[in-house]
Structure 1
Amino acid sequence: MNIKLIFSGLFLAGSFQLAAQTPNMPTEVLVNRIVNTVSKVNAGETIILKGDKDQLNFLESLGEQIHKKGAFPVIMLESEKLTKAGTLSVPEEALVAHHKALHKLDNKADLTIYIANSIDYANIYKQAPEAYAEKRRNAIKEYHNGAPENMATFREVYIGLPNKKMAEAEGIAYNTYEKMIMEAMAVDNEAIAAKGKQIAAILQAGKKVKVTTTNGTDFTFMLAGRPTSIDDGIISEADLKSSVESDRMVALPTGLLLVTGDESSGSGKIVAARDRQFGNQGPVKITNAVYQFQDGKLGSVKATTNQAFLEKRLKEAQPAATQFGGLVIGLNPAMKVLSDEKQDFRPYEAEGMVFIHIGGNDWMGGKNKVKEGTTIPVEKATVAVDGKIIVKDGKLVTNSVASK
């Protein structure tokens, strides 16, 4: 899961969650995979490891392997108490300085490995008064999406394993959730990379993309010959040579393709039957949202629930933050969309799941440098490039890219 997608600024979250870790610690095989294959740790590098106290053994195992590579690990321990302090107790006049200090550290590291934790962020956010939460959100935006100082070596890795709290939050039976995440983590990286490259070739050669759904989405944009980013779970030598920030970001489970387009070209209607956007006080559930675009600009939005929330964010956002940004397509066949009145799970990595990105997109190869952005989920989408269908009703259907 890509961190820039999680930190969507138009509906900005104060923090992020991936599937949190199970009581059974990852094996030595996974630790070696993260250090040697996924992250490609090198001697002389400074590596930040972020996780909570329940993951301390895992953090130590990672640190041990990092030392053996001649690099130096720095463990940043996260907890409910520290999160509450950082979310609720920082003086208003120090909010910008507080976030500047965090990003000053993050931007100097060669590699940051995030281990998803089980902290109840939503409950903590609800405790913040709205006015204070708004000021905190604005302070985060001051440093969100800033280019790393060490682009030559910069990379970020996100590791997520299932737990019962996250399954409950998604409205999914734990056994179903656990099985899906673990199978998705075991999917062959090379197969995902090959699938992504085939889709990327179609996009690179194309000019016009059309996204439609049976519930009313009819959206088009023009491609601009921009590079695609593929999260296949490995930071390759080619990724390290890339100037595109998203090429240096990977996740387990993995499987994601991102491409930007002509920012002034997005036009039409996007319908999101269900969504969760992030407000100042935590996640906000949205149903039956309709977004209208013209010449790349989001002009209006309506929704059955929480329309006032969406309208407020649209009104307050910088103009560039409401501009079309790009397309996201999931590539992992083991990740599934489970979305109905009870289940609320739309992972970016689910094969055939589509998102439209709006706002800042320079980190994924675009030209919009604004520090705000968000994604709109388009379930069961059909995507065509110059008339060639690559996704049909939420499934990859091209013979060369679809999972058997």
Structure 2
Amino acid sequence: MEMGSLARKFVRRSMRIGKKRNGKYDAVRIVYNRIDSSCEKFALKVEEECWRVGAHTLLLGYSSERAKIKYTLSPEKSLREMSPFAEVIAKRADTLIFIGEEDKPNWAMGLAAKVKLTAPVREKLHEITDGRKTRWAYFGWPVPGAARAYGCAVKKFRRIFFDSIRKTFTPELIKLCKFYHDALAEKNEVRITATGGTDLTFRIKGRPVLVDDGILSNEDIARGDVGVNIPAGEVFIAPLETSADGKILFEKVAIPGFGKLDGLELKFRRGKVVSYEAVRGRENFTKFLKANTGEKDRIGEFGIGTNPGAAYTGGSIIIDEKIFGTIHIAIGNNRGAYHGKNRASSHLDIIKDMRRGQVFVDGELVMNRGKPAR
């Protein structure tokens, strides 16, 4: 898909950027990874498309390396303060867009204590934007540094990304989203079982079922569902926060900024992670928990991947959580667009391959070995 056409579809159809009800034009902040020239080129196309519809823009470059240097050099007192620039953007921007990936996904290793100092500020910024129902988008882009960190060949990484993007706006994806939406809507209990001892149950009664199909519809906006991921392809819901009981095994886990794990087993009691073990990399999960605040270890989301073009990258969450045949559980923040109650500085998605598992909703089989049980 040509960049200009993709930018047009994203700005006009996905995000509905343009003139507001009061007659003024949207204010759009765009952050992009400046390390990759193709990512920068696409960000410029998005900005130009915003200009075509009258929007005011703020374009900011980002890199993992600069983030690492910032945390290394900044005094602790400064990190605890809210940046006046970040505060103004949170209070005034109508749309927040991030384009790219981390060029060094594990940049925060060794900086957990300093990262934690900013957690209350990050929580406060979430509260501001959630309260204003600020539209947001995470537009993934295949940054080569991310591919290398995930152990995925750059050529393969790019192919997976663009295959996923092409599938985002297709009838096939929309049909899968509808099936799982209807399977979860107005239901009470979800049970996940799989080989390796997985048996996790939680309740969803009263919670809205959300669909990430890459488009903000009138219905989405009316409900306050103001976020978009591209590549898209996910049906998700916020479980009742104290309802999860049992255990679940994740074969491979990638935690942005903290590293990878193999064979992570989480045990939940009354919604909270009460113990965890891993075959390899347990210390990375420990460091992640220590670096965050609030309900960082409480269930926050249950999601089902619906993008047939997505494939495992080894760490790009925006792709991996969309893979058709997978589910994911998130722990941490689920306020705002998720319609949950957890306040936390983090939201960690953990993906599970369901080719050897089942999902039951109110006792009825909904997913069998990764496929819809029709």
Deviation at 1:311, TM superposition (A): 4.8
* Residue of structure 2 aligned with 1:235, choices 204, 216, 227: 216
CA separation of 1:157/1:132 partners in 2, compared to 1, >3 Å: closer, same or farther?
closer
2:148 aligns with 168
Q: Does the CA-based 8 Å contact 1:190-1:232 persist in structure 2?
A: no
Distance 1:118 1:159 in 2: 12
Distance 1:313 1:76 in 2: 27
User: How do 1:260-279 and structure 2 match up within 5 A?
Assistant: 260-278=238-256
Give the letter aligned to residue 290 of structure 1: E
Stretch moving more, 324-333 or 61-70: 61-70
User: How do 1:350-369 and structure 2 match up within 5 A?
Assistant: 350-363=323-336, 364-369=338-343
2:132 equivalent to 1:151: yes
CA separation of 1:337/1:241 partners in 2, compared to 1, >3 Å: closer, same or farther?
same
User: How do 1:321-400 and structure 2 match up within 5 A?
Assistant: 321-337=296-312, 347-363=320-336, 364-380=338-354, 381-393=357-369, 395-399=370-374
Give the letter aligned to residue 241 of structure 2: E
CA separation of 1:304/1:254 partners in 2, compared to 1, >3 Å: closer, same or farther?
same
| Residue deviations 1:300-351 (CA, integer Å, cap 9, x gap) | 112222334545666887674333223111110111236xxxx566611111
**Structure 1 unaligned blocks of 5 or more:** 1-24, 400-404
CA separation of 1:242/1:129 partners in 2, compared to 1, >3 Å: closer, same or farther?
closer
Deviation at 1:219, TM superposition (A): 0.4
Alignment partner of 2:92: what SS? Answer: coil
| Residue deviations 1:235-254 (CA, integer Å, cap 9, x gap) | 111122122xxx21112211
* Residue of structure 2 aligned with 1:224, choices 205, 211, 218: 205
Give the letter aligned to residue 358 of structure 2: T
Deviation at 1:99, TM superposition (A): 4.6
User: How do 1:205-220 and structure 2 match up within 5 A?
Assistant: 205-220=186-201
CA separation of 1:174/1:372 partners in 2, compared to 1, >3 Å: closer, same or farther?
closer
User: How do 1:4-403 and structure 2 match up within 5 A?
Assistant: 26-43=2-19, 44-53=25-34, 54=37, 55-79=39-63, 82-99=66-83, 101-117=85-101, 119-122=103-106, 124-126=107-109, 129=111, 131-136=113-118, 138-143=119-124, 145-148=126-129, 151=132, 154-187=134-167, 188-243=169-224, 247-278=225-256, 282-311=257-286, 320-337=295-312, 347-363=320-336, 364-380=338-354, 381-393=357-369, 395-399=370-374
Distance 1:301 1:118 in 2: 27
Give the letter aligned to residue 331 of structure 1: T
Give the letter aligned to residue 238 of structure 1: E
Deviation at 1:171, TM superposition (A): 2.1
CA separation of 1:214/1:117 partners in 2, compared to 1, >3 Å: closer, same or farther?
closer
1:18 aligns with none
Deviation at 1:60, TM superposition (A): 3.2
Distance 2:50 2:272 in 1: 46
Give the letter aligned to residue 242 of structure 2: S
Alignment partner of 2:205: what SS? Answer: strand
Distance 1:108 1:327 in 2: 31
Aligned-pair identity (%): 23
State the TM-score, normalized to the length of structure 2: 0.85
User: More relative contact order in 1 or in 2 (CA 8 Å, sep 6+)?
Assistant: 1
Give the letter aligned to residue 391 of structure 1: M
Stretch moving more, 234-243 or 140-149: 140-149
Distance 2:344 2:268 in 1: 18
Give the letter aligned to residue 54 of structure 2: G
Give the letter aligned to residue 7 of structure 2: V
- Number of aligned residue pairs: 360
